[in-house]
A and B are shown apart, each in its own frame.
Chain A
Amino acid sequence: MAGQVYPLEGIRVIDITVVWAGPYGTMFLADMGAEVIRVESINIFPSSSRGQFARPSKEAEARRDYGASVYPNRDPGERPWNRPATFNAHARNKYSMTANLTTPEGKDVFRRLVEVSDVFVENNAVGSMERLGFTYPVLSQWNPRLIAISATGQGRTGPWAHYRGYGSQSEALMGHSSVMGYPDMDPSGAPGSVATDATTGVTIALATVMALHQREKTGKGIFIDLSMSETFIPHLGEHFMDYFINQRVAGALGNRDPNLVQGCYRCLGEDEWIAITIGADDHWQALCQAMEQPEMAKDPRFATMSARQERHDEIDQIIEAWTSQHAPYDLFHKLQNEGVPSGPVMHEDQVHSDPHVRAREFLVPITHPEIGTHDYPSTVFKASKLPFKVRKPPVRLGEDNDYVYREVLKLTEAEYDHLKTLGQIGMDYDPSIR
């Protein structure tokens, strides 16, 4: 579509986000047209952002478990920090500049950036911004219209404010780990979920749009304290409400649901599975039809939901005896033709070749200057006037220094040269960083 307009064009976002949750949030802002500028340092390597290590060895990557390397062909290459899939999946449409914010010169650069920006997003441990002197009272003096969002594991106030953590620690602390996992096991079997990274990223973007609209009404920016735990607790609403209403404490339910009969059943093939849900009598009838067991459809022992729930283990065995003889996609289409809610556990390769994924153009080829062309996941929604668009490939460390320093911050060449001599400008981490 010609003359495409995106909602956040003209909005500049300062991005000091690390790991997954924060960068996922600014990805949505960048996709929607905001000029998202990652402020990075070539003297500090935040772990698990541009990879776990700045310079992992080829040997270490070769030794990782199957499916565990995130580098193209397991090769960390010349500049490993521009290559991890865990970073590049969110990094399209963003800009990157480098500055050392611990120095007076770096702080001055940051102040000038705040003065010409609209939004500041960061998700570092509580204390990091304070040590740099970038508290909201200071930032809002520099720019009263600045919207600042700080995402942390447990929020910026309270006795646990200093807790460091990824999503998985938040999910342990606020109950998610206690309700997932195998019902016959202790919590050590629970998945290492980082669903909170996903909820936090989306919530950052949601909060930004609300803050921009509110700023039009009030003329002022705002500070938003976002706790990863608090964004996720509503997602466990049924469990919390059951406790508040009935004082009942949910345990690990595995794949079961109190209102349904369902499971994840082994299929023909290596590590192939299908999930099936019997949520109503007609699903059961349809499942019996698909399994070619018409007599079971009439069996009174399975006739009602409560009867089926009482015989859940037995039903699981019957289903798995059938599914284990067939490939997951064959079962999927057969069950769907009969009207049974079902879906294969899709491995990454199956997603890449799936006809529905392809028909909706969910995967989009992007050419990265250092690693070539690959199919990238696009985003969580389609909007008729805001088609997914890649204006810039996943951003390399410091690749926009010239643009930001000269055109955004309008530094003189002498000032820019001075920062270069101080070793703050570059596209490579300092050689001392491993």
Chain B
Amino acid sequence: MSDQPLSDIRVIDLTQYIAGPYCTKLLADFGADVIKIERPGGGDLARRLGPFPGDVPHSEKSGLFLHLNTNKRSVVLNLKTSEGTDVLRSLLSGADILVESFRPGEMARLGLDPADLQQTYPNLVITSISNFGQTGPYRDYKASEITLFAMGGRMSRSGLPDRYPLKLGGNHVQYQAGNCAAMATLFAWYAGRYKGIGGQHVDIAIFETQLASYNSRMPYLLAYAYTGERGTRGEPGGGGYPSGYYPCADGYIHITGGGAFFPRSAALLGRPELATDPRFAPPLGQLNRQSKEEFEITLWLPWLLERTRSEVVETAQSYELLCGAVYSIDEVVQNPQLTAREYFVDIDHPVSGTFRYPGAPIMPSEPWWRLRRPAPLLGQHTGEVLTELLGASAEELARLEERGVITSSAYSNERVSL
């Protein structure tokens, strides 16, 4: 078995919640040694957010935390003490990448100004993830998943025209920022490694990861520059019909079957002549609202309502139409495609037990994505990391622990054998 691609990279991870941890999860799952620094007391904020088994909060059982922190090691370090920042600096001297998600300016307040760190560690890539970036008039503004999508993303076009705009599911904006941060971090690291330009500071504004998202936002920001027209909610402009969500016998499907694809939809209905019927034919027939209504009511919906989702999808796909069924989460986890590809994985965790988890985002022909360890217990690797990387003795560890600089796992001695 070959090495994982990032097995020669060490990352010091000062992030919490979702965006930063998803960035470092991607790096860790592809082999990087990610050392997650958590604060004494509660650690990562995500440890306090659900879903928890039976909805009973427990710092080692958050489904969100367990998902986001696979393959990382946890070190509890008090960065509000000078000894704590000394330990961090020692760790940085053997690291390739530092990722942080403090509010802008907090690193400097901790005595860890990225510009100063860059002087001391000229090859270190420092990635900062924040809502609006490290500069600009909104730098210190507060944000959330929905406000970042409202400002950065395509929310103005999301939802029905006569109702309020809608956010997307879950925390996609946060995750996608982590995805972008991992990509940008590796670009910077690769430039240092192979082009000899040393380290640098990567500034990820979650706001901008949405502005430049090809979830329609980036192209339509340019469309505005081209036309001077604001977008509206409702049917995606100009795609023709059938397009969007439609009911069928046992649920809903989503299809892109209009415009250039309309001849295939006509063939599917056994009415190929509709493709040249001036009422429906592209381009003008496909832009006519009355024709759309007529097509949907007299031809399309009657065909759909006699068929199940999977019948509709299989038939539409056989006509090379772009069509998928709307499945709920429980249907997704047992669908034949993800099952055949063995996408979901089982992970044992010493406190929370064994659950299934989402799997690898890509499937290379070599097993790059591997589970070396489950999400860490709070401070599980404090002693291990300081011993292994800094050569700390048992006496030094005890002294640091006594002075409140580090904490070892509450689980390290009793309840769990690790």
Contact = CB atoms under 8 A, between A and B. Distances in A.
Which range contains the number of A residues in contact with the other chain?
35 or more
A254 B149 CA distance: 13
B371 interface: no
A2 interface: no
A225 B143 contact: no
A189 to B, nearest CB: 6
A169 B179 contact: no
B253 A172 contact: yes
B187 A24 contact: no
A346 to B, nearest CB: 5
A326 B296 CA distance: 40
Interface stretch (A192-200, A300-308, A410-418): A192-200
Contacts of B219: 20, 70, 85-86, 89-90
Nearest to B223: A85
B414 interface: no
B51 A242 contact: yes
Interface in A229-265: 229-251, 253-255, 257-260, 262-265
A255 B37 CA distance: 32
B233 to A, nearest CB: 8
A345 B336 CA distance: 39
B68 interface: yes
Which range contains the number of B residues in contact with the other chain?
35 or more
A241 B165 contact: no
Contacts of A163: 313, 317, 324
A370 to B, nearest CB: 12
Main secondary structure of the interface of B (DSSP, over half): mixed
A133 interface: no
Contacts of B207: 356
Contacts of B261: 47
Contacts of A385: 188, 191, 197-198, 200
A59 B133 CA distance: 43
Main secondary structure of the interface of A (DSSP, over half): mixed
Nearest to A4: B197
Interface in B131-184: 132-133, 135-138, 141-152, 155-160, 163-172, 175-176, 179-184
B348 interface: no
A172 B252 CA distance: 9
Contacts of B363: 155, 224-227, 230
A214 B360 CA distance: 18
Contact of B150 (A245, A259, A345, A360): A345
A313 B230 CA distance: 30
A146 B169 CA distance: 37
Nearest to A262: B146
Given A275-B167, A362-B211, 20 more contacts: A7-B190, A47-B261, A52-B239, A73-B227, A89-B221, A173-B324, A176-B168, A177-B254, A178-B326, A187-B326, A199-B361, A211-B364, A233-B358, A236-B172, A240-B329, A345-B165, A359-B136, A380-B184, A381-B203, A384-B202
